[in-house]
Structure 1
Amino acid sequence: MNRISDTEATLARWHEEAAAVRSRRSGIGVARPEQVEGLSGMQVFEAMMAGRLPAPPIGQTLDFELVQVEPGMAVFQGRPGPAHYNPMGTVHGGWFATLLDSAVGCAVHSTLPAGKAYTTLELKINIVRALTERVPLVRAEGRVVHGGSQVATAEGRLVGPDGKLYAHASTTCLVFDARR
């Protein structure tokens, strides 16, 4: 296949995968503490992907969604658009950062046992090319590099359906006992 048809095939696959996730979604919201108590990070994501827990509202606000998760890895898909533009007419760096922070943070979260939580201590992002609505979808893939009992690190990449890299990031997360 040539590059254009490869890109079109990837884009079609991405649309199908996201539609399948949305078809199972139970709504938008925040899970109640009793809904997640006793669940590992991966179990929380499995419940979210199966529609037993709602998708977080930030995805609706910024037009992105979790499309895949497994232990140590999370993939978010986003649609860059004019609502995310800065005064120069390109997607604001904060949108890049939020999408990548979600991917790397959820990659870490997916490895946590029940009773543990995390917070981002540091996020480093490198934007390597501008984004506009001419790129119909992008994916942020986060992968855990180190999962410790107190500190976890992860890396992420933001790519288009043609494989072009738009940004990459790394994070350091603090792991702690969840509050009851």
Structure 2
Amino acid sequence: MTDVPEPDISPELFAVLAADPLAAQLGITLEQVSPGYARATMTVGPAHLNAAGTAHGGATMALLDVVHAAVSNSHGTLAVAQDVHTEFLAPGRPGDLLTAVGTEVHRSARTAVYRIEATAGDGRLVATALARVFRLGTPWALPGDDEVVAMGAPPPVPPTMQISAVETPLPTPGPGTNPSGPTPAPDELQ
């Protein structure tokens, strides 16, 4: 007997979960959501880099968190994060397409636990997270529902708050600014 995959969630719930302004600013694309499963991608670009020239932990964590939000709300019940424990395992490199997949580990009426993993296109496991949510017991009110919307899509981000790519290189620190010596190239950070 073969396992039959769960069907994707309703297009209305997917649209609400995919309408995340921070995800849009960071170039994170929510690709698939089904009950207990979510997947999103982000290409590491100049605006995602830290001072060492690799993917900033905050950008990687944002990718994991977008997936966490989608998978934890995939059953149509409003869920809010309580805890996310993240392990950074390998650097995301400029140009890497990071794919994060979240799966449900445990779900009860009020809490749920999810594992989220981000991998690079070459198979490197970049980060992993174990995340817990509190399930409010409130169904998502979606566009077209007759009831009052409990939680809708957030308003669009004003253009003045949008992240733009760095157009000029950051200044190189002079001598004496790093007591431990020069910063290693991103390839040496493994």
Q: Tell me the TM-score normalized by structure 1.
A: 0.67
Q: How does 1:37-76 map to 2 (within 5 A)?
A: 42-43=9-10, 46-47=11-12, 55-76=19-40
Q: Structure 1 stretch 137-146 or stretch 126-135: which is displaced more?
A: 126-135
Distance 1:61 1:121 in 2: 24
* From 151, 161, 166, the counterpart of 2:126: 166
Distance 1:95 1:67 in 2: 18
- The structure where helix makes up a greater share of residues is 1
Give the superposed CA RMSD. Answer: 2.3
1:98 Cα deviation (Å)?
Answer: 1.1
Q: Are 1:122 and 2:89 matched, yes or no?
A: no
Residue in 1 that maps onto 2:179 = none
* From 51, 63, 69, the counterpart of 1:87: 51
Residue in 2 that maps onto 1:153 = 113
1:97 Cα deviation (Å)?
Answer: 0.9
Check 1:131–1:71 CA distance in 2 against 1; reply closer, same or farther (3 A cut): same
Question: Looking at CA atoms only, which structure, 1 or 2, has the larger radius of gyration?
Answer: 2
Secondary structure of 1:98's match?
helix
1:56 Cα deviation (Å)?
Answer: 2.2
Runs of 4 or more, structure 1, over 4 Å off, are 51-54
Where structure 2 has 5 or more consecutive residues not aligned to the other structure, the ranges are 1-7, 139-148, 151-190
Q: Could you list the per-position Cα deviations for residues 30-55 of structure 1 after superposition, in whole angstroms to 9, with x for gaps in the alignment?
A: xxxxxxxxxxx933xx2265x69973
The aligned length equals 133
Secondary structure of 1:152's match?
strand
Q: Could you list the per-position Cα deviations for residues 62-102 of structure 1 after superposition, in whole angstroms to 9, with x for gaps in the alignment?
A: 11110111111000010111101122222111111111111
Where structure 1 has 5 or more consecutive residues not aligned to the other structure, the ranges are 1-40
Check 1:147–1:52 CA distance in 2 against 1; reply closer, same or farther (3 A cut): closer
Distance 1:52 1:165 in 2: 29
Identity of aligned residues (%): 26
2:33–2:39 contact (8 Å) kept in structure 1: yes
